[in-house]
Amino acid sequence: MALTAEIQAQIEEAEAREAGRRAHELAVEQRRAKLEAVRLAKETLIENARSKPVDERGVSGSDITTFADAIVSYINQ
């Protein structure tokens, strides 16, 4: 049974909307995962710094982002 042009157009439109929704959900999930990686990196670096002498305990923002990027890269392999 062949579909009419109007029904086929409606199906294609619905598929396009669904593809857009899936792309948006994926982007949101990737942001959420990156935020979680930053939180994990911060907590790990701060906890590891506790074992260092007091004058060597500094954890910078760039340390956190570098470690978070490494975590995200590892997860995406």
pLDDT for 9-55, tens place per residue?
999 999 999 999 999 999 999 999 999 999 999 999 999 999 988 88
Place of tokens 């199906």: 11
H or E stretch covering 5 = helix 5-49
- pLDDT score, position 68: 94
Say what the pLDDT of residue 25 is. 96
Cβ atoms within 10 Å, residue 1: 2
User: Does the pTM of the predicted model rise above 0.85?
Assistant: no
In sequence order, what are the residues at sequence separation of 6 or more whose Cβ sits closer than 8 angstroms to the Cβ of residue 38? 64, 65, 68
**pLDDT band per the 50, 70, 90 thresholds, residue 57:** confident
User: What's residue 66's pLDDT?
Assistant: 94
Q: What are phi and psi of 53, to 5 degrees?
A: -60, 155
Integer Cα distance of 16 and 69 in angstroms: 32
Q: What is the pLDDT of residue 38?
A: 95
